[in-house]
């Protein structure tokens, strides 16, 4: 079909992508190259290599992208204090541009005609993968099997696997998770099963990274996070790589019941979707970064950042990481981060993150001699406030007279 000779498939080794591998060969009579990214999902990836080999794949790419993922995608996003619709820390969204980039790069390296993914026609991921791929290679061909085939249920997929002898783990038969899950170093997401009812409370057994706040330790955990140019670089004075730092925060947050979220979000394709998320390290990092900015950023620069953030968040959620508008906003955001240097002290306790201290030796804008409630020795003339208030009240007074 359509002259496709070679396709690079984003491959996990699970049910969907194992079937897609076979389906691509049958439908397009093409060679399939598999690409599996390690972005911290916490699973052994060598089984994916073994499965691909068993299915006759000759070119298999399994890559450790954890440091690149956190350094070049997660950290830039957190410089903006990014939250989608007030709650979602974009754990799935931010991983997609990196995967799309590697798909396109591997396609160029291997001489492939197309790339393929296992995202469904109902979700956001199809948009994110494909917008990213087109932004990086406008001539790339993309094959999305879920928009072409008739295998539109789990039962049909399993039947197809059985018919064609495809070795897959079948969740209903092996006692695995009943949820649709996505995991990386930033989060785990859960969808499906009882979560399709927005009124139903999630089962406690669902959560994997975090203890319930009720079961968290009775004594708080105190930590200090050091920042350089807006990025976290150390915990309790111990320098760490980006991936190691986020992994450490995940463990600390998970042990204290931090980072659970249950929300209904607006997908880009138009529908509402209910999902649950665990983002322990991200929840800590967001709180710490905002605290560091509160001490070091100029008021108007900070407020302008806050105004940009919803647009920046929507750009990531909707798949526009590689767009000119996201890059423009990133340049402005990164400019502000040159002064975001210092240390934040936090208390982790039964699901909560509380800032209990912040300091910056070189870039603090907090002046105790001006802010003090004691005698400021003339550092601030309180009489100046009268003229300031009267000038700012002028339009209000004029308007009040007109009403009268």
Catalytic center residues: 16, 96, 125, 180
What are all long-range contacts of 134-142, with beta carbons under 8 Å and residues at least 24 apart? 135/322, 135/323, 136/100, 136/101, 136/104, 136/322, 137/104, 137/107, 137/108, 140/104, 140/107, 140/114, 140/115, 141/4, 141/113, 141/114, 141/115, 142/114, 142/115, 142/116, 142/117
Which residues face 352 on adjacent strands? 349
Q: Is 103 exposed, middle or buried (0-12, 13-18, 19+ CB in 10 A)?
A: buried
Buried b (16+ CB within 10 A) or exposed e, 283-322: bbbbbbbbbbbebbbeeebbeebeebbeebbbbbbbbbbb
Q: Which two tokens stand for residue 195?
A: 């979560």
Instruction: Sort strands 6-10 and 31-38 into parallel, antiparallel or unpaired.
Output: parallel
Phi, psi of 373 (to 5 degrees): -90, -5
Q: Tell me the DSSP string of 34-55.
A: EEEEESS--S--HHHHHHHHHT
Whether residue 89 contacts residue 82, with contact meaning beta carbons closer than 8 Å, is answered with: yes
Question: How many Å apart are CA 45 and CA 177, to the nearest integer?
Answer: 18
């Amino acid at each position: 079909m359509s002259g496709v000779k070679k396709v690079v498939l984003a491959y996990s080794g699970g049910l969907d992508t194992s079937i897609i591998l076979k389906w691509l060969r049958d439908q397009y009579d093409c060679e399939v190259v598999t690409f599996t990214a390690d972005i911290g999902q916490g699973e052994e990836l060598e089984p994916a290599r073994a499965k691909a080999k068993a299915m006759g794949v000759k070119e298999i790419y399994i890559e450790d992208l954890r440091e690149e993922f956190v350094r070049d995608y997660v950290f830039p996003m957190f410089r903006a204090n990014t939250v989608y619709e007030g709650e979602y820390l974009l754990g799935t969204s931010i991983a997609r541009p990196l995967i799309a980039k590697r798909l396109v790069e591997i396609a160029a390296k291997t001489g492939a005609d197309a790339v393929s993914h296992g995202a469904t026609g109902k979700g956001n991921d199809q948009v994110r993968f494909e917008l990213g791929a087109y932004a990086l290679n406008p001539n790339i061909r993309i094959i999305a099997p879920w928009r072409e085939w008739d295998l539109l249920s789990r039962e049909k997929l399993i039947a197809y696997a059985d018919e064609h002898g495809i070795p897959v783990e079948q969740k209903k038969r092996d006692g695995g998770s009943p949820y649709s899950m996505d995991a990386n170093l930033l989060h785990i997401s859960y969808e499906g099963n009882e979560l399709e009812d927005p009124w139903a409370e999630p089962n406690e057994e669902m959560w994997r990274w975090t203890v319930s706040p009720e079961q968290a330790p009775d004594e708080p955990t105190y930590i200090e996070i050091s920042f350089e140019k807006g990025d976290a670089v150390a915990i309790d004075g111990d320098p760490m790589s980006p991936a190691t730092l986020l992994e450490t925060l995940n463990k600390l947050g998970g042990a204290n019941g931090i980072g659970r979220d249950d929300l209904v979000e607006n997908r880009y394709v138009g529908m509402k979707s209910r999902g649950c998320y665990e983002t322990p390290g991200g929840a800590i990092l967001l709180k710490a970064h905002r605290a560091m900015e509160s001490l070091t950023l100029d008021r108007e620069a900070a407020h302008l950042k806050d105004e940009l953030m919803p647009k920046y968040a929507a750009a990531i959620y909707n798949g526009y990481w590689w767009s000119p508008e996201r890059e423009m906003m990133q340049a402005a955001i990164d400019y502000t981060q040159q002064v975001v240097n210092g240390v934040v002290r936090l208390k982790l306790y039964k699901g909560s993150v509380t800032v209990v201290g912040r300091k910056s030796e070189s870039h603090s804008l907090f002046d105790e001699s001006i802010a003090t409630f004691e005698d400021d020795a003339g550092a601030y003339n309180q009489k100046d406030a009268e003229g300031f208030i009267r000038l700012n009240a002028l339009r209000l007074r004029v308007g009040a007279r007109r009403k009268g």
